[in-house]
Amino acid sequence: MSWLRFSFESKLDEIFLVSLVLRQVCTHIGLDEILAYQVELCAIEAVTNSVRHALHEQPGNEVTVLIRFDDAKIDLQILDCGASMPPTYVERLKHGSQVLNFDPSDIQALPESGMGLQIIHDFMDEAVYTSNGGVNCLRLMKLLRRTGI
Amino acid sequence: MRFEENKVGSVLIAKVLDGRIAADVALQFKAHLAGYLERGERAIVLDLGAVSFIDSSGLGALISSLKALGIERHLVVSGARGTVASMFKLTRMDKVLRLFSTTEEAVAAIS
């Protein structure tokens, strides 16, 4: 199967386009609602990070998304040409962090941000970030189980 | 973002009409909830029955609103569907947020 490839301008109000495409893909390959949500969520977290942190929401830049799937898995790649992810965040993506190990009784200490990488770490079966030649690439992979539709 | 508001006694029911609470509207969402607190609402049921997608930005906005409540005010959630509920569970926010299946249950809990 070849890659489905599309790009959008680095603005937060265009990120919904990624959801539109992924929902159609997930419906086509028969993913159950929760699994489809996990795939969409991780893609949205990834592109949001590209727009916000790599490209600083500056207009005139692009985020590129590639999608490929087969019976066993779905692969995503999110590419941008912005600032690369700091090594500490790359480590968080790889190994997880303590951001969600909060005390539920301490409301004021609850996280309001920084949960995206942990969500990707927890929901995806693979998440690998590379930065080469000015191109940042986050590769995500999710093993599939289908509804049989 | 679009909300539908109803009052049951002193409880405000704020139903989110949009299907997505994501990064592009998170600030609006937060500002809208802050507006309820600023106008003096003390008991709010946030009905998420129509919401099928929330990301970490949307969740962060909700948590920010929870932090702004103080001791004497209530913000609870009703109608969180499977996908949104799975997000709350993954992030352990189901230990923090008071979640109710129906708006009626939520209203009764904070009336």
Tens of pLDDT, residues B43-84? 999 999 999 999 999 999 999 999 999 888 999 999 998 999
Q: Which positions in chain A touch B55 (Cβ < 8 Å)?
A: 41, 44-45, 48, 116
Please tell me the distance from the alpha carbon of residue B44 to that of residue B75, in angstroms, as a whole number. Answer: 5
Q: Provide the shortest C-alpha distance from residue B25 to chain A (in Å).
A: 8
Do residues B2 and B18 touch, judged by C-beta distance below 8 A?
yes
Do residues B77 and B48 touch, judged by C-beta distance below 8 A?
yes
Cβ of A115 and B56 within 8 Å? Answer: yes
DSSP A41: H
Q: Which positions in chain B touch A15 (Cβ < 8 Å)?
A: 22-24
Contacts of A132 (CB under 8 A, 6+ apart): none
Please tell me the distance from the alpha carbon of residue B55 to that of residue B69, in angstroms, as a whole number. Answer: 22
What pTM does this model have?
Answer: 0.94
Cα dihedral sign, A53-A48-B24-A13: positive
Tens of pLDDT, residues A93-124? 999 998 999 999 999 999 999 999 999 999 99
